[in-house]
Amino acid sequence: MIAILVSACVLGATDVTVVKNRRLEPNDNVAKVLYAAGLDEPTVDAVQGALRATGFDFKKARAGDQLRFVFRDQQLDALDYRRSIFTEWQVRREGDRYLGKKGQLEKETQLAVVELTVDTSVWDAAKAAGEKPEIAVTLSDVFAWDIDFYRDVQKGDRMRAVVEKVVSKGRVLEYGNVLAASYVGSTVGKKKSFRYRLPDGSETYFLEDGTSARKTFLKTPLKFAHVTSGFGSRFHPILKYVGAHNGVDYGTPTGTPVWSVADGTVVRAGWDKGGGNMVCVRHVMSLETCYLHLSKVEVKEGQRVQQKAVIGESGSTGLSTGPHLHFAMKRGGMFVNPLNQNFPRADPLPKTLIGDFREKADALDVQLEAKSLARAEP
Ligand SMILES: [Zn+2]
């Protein structure tokens, strides 16, 4: 258990407030942390009773839970027990007893326009724009069928998105749905996608003309994760198609999530002398994909997987000279270069919905483009 912060401030001649922040570490329990914060036994009992009265389950206390103690004149005045960004319990002193209540963090969803310009990496571009880096992952998901965020991103590329932000007290807690996004890049060209709700309630992305953004196969077998490095550094993925061993090598740090590029059935998941830990998935159109040298396999033979399901983590097992993912594709049993394949898009919007879609997409497009013009003409 670690004391994160201890601060004291003098409010009056005799009124001293002390705040202590504590965190549950592995193998801690709530009582242990309460004692370590300086509470005596009757107070520990009273606080635990107050928590229990709210339905607090002590067995679910876990490492990372945060406790904030406020002492007034050396007596516990308030305790906030925070489990996640949304869940918190509060214990308050009322006279000579303690009362607990479960608090729900006040939060609201706001619509915002985010603009990123890539200098060294998407991750750094997010930080430079004052956003949480998670926005990079969120945006890579929107473009997963058309843009390989490991390979296609270049210096100077620009992204804009109309995105939901879940905000509490002025702080962004997380990103919600991306309603519209555009990407302008030297390798990628210009891409634009709009989220649209279909009559059955499902939501998916369509291009400006109502074509589906989805394809049967993703652009890359690597889920975009936190790649700290930028261009030219050791871990910037190097990609090449190697004819001799029939696949594409993605140089990527061990532990990068690998996902199935399409729906299918796992036909192989296990050890191979050359391929190390490897997974192969059979798809439609007599296509099969294989993922080699994994550090971790997370599927079993016979298992159905969906597009974007994480099947393992990249590594350097088997005959491998360094951390990389070897990605292979077969069509009718013959190896093909996955980088050269053209995959069909999912069904377009039915004609009857085009009018409604255009109306909604146009409204979003104004927000995407307005920001762009503001930047273009300083
Ligand atoms: Zn290889």
Cβ atoms of 224 and 230 closer than 8 Å: no
Residue 373 has pLDDT above 70, yes or no: no
pLDDT at res. 215: 93
C-alpha of residue 314 to centroid of ligand 1, in Å: 12
SS (H, E, C) 76-87: EEEEEEECCCCE
**What element of type H or E holds 374?**
helix 351-376
C-alpha of residue 257 to centroid of ligand 1, in Å: 17
C-alpha of residue 249 to centroid of ligand 1, in Å: 5
Q: Tell me the three state secondary structure of residue 340.
A: helix
Residues of the chain with CATH 3.10.450.350: 3-104, 106-214+345-378
* pLDDT (tens digit per residue) in 243-289: 556 888 888 889 989 999 999 999 999 999 889 999 999 999 899 99
C-alpha of residue 55 to centroid of ligand 1, in Å: 54
Please state, for a pLDDT cut of 90, what percent of the chain lies above it: 60
C-alpha of residue 241 to centroid of ligand 1, in Å: 8
Mean pLDDT of the region 283-312: 96
Fold of 106-214+345-378: Nuclear Transport Factor 2; Chain: A, (3.10.450)
pLDDT at res. 173: 87
C-alpha of residue 168 to centroid of ligand 1, in Å: 46
Q: Domain 220-344 sits in which CATH superfamily? A: Glucose Permease (Domain IIA) (2.70.70.10)
Residue 377 has pLDDT above 90, yes or no: no
Tokens 């009018």 map to which residue? 355
Q: Which CATH number fits domain 3-104: 3.40.50.1980, 3.40.50.150, 3.10.450.350, 3.40.120.10?
A: 3.10.450.350
C-alpha of residue 260 to centroid of ligand 1, in Å: 17
Range among 166-175, 219-228, 318-327, 349-358 rated most confident: 349-358
Q: Pick the more confident residue, 323 or 297.
A: 297
Q: Who surrounds ion ligand 1 at CB < 5 A?
A: 249, 326
pLDDT at res. 107: 84
C-alpha of residue 252 to centroid of ligand 1, in Å: 12
Mean pLDDT of the chain: 87
pLDDT at res. 6: 41
Cβ atoms of 378 and 234 closer than 8 Å: no
C-alpha of residue 248 to centroid of ligand 1, in Å: 6
C-alpha of residue 236 to centroid of ligand 1, in Å: 16
C-alpha of residue 256 to centroid of ligand 1, in Å: 16
Question: Please, what is the end-to-end C-alpha distance for the chain in angstroms?
Answer: 52
Please state, for a pLDDT cut of 70, what percent of the chain lies above it: 88
C-alpha of residue 277 to centroid of ligand 1, in Å: 13
C-alpha of residue 259 to centroid of ligand 1, in Å: 17
C-alpha of residue 154 to centroid of ligand 1, in Å: 24
The C-alpha atoms of residue 335 and residue 301 are separated, in whole angstroms, by 21
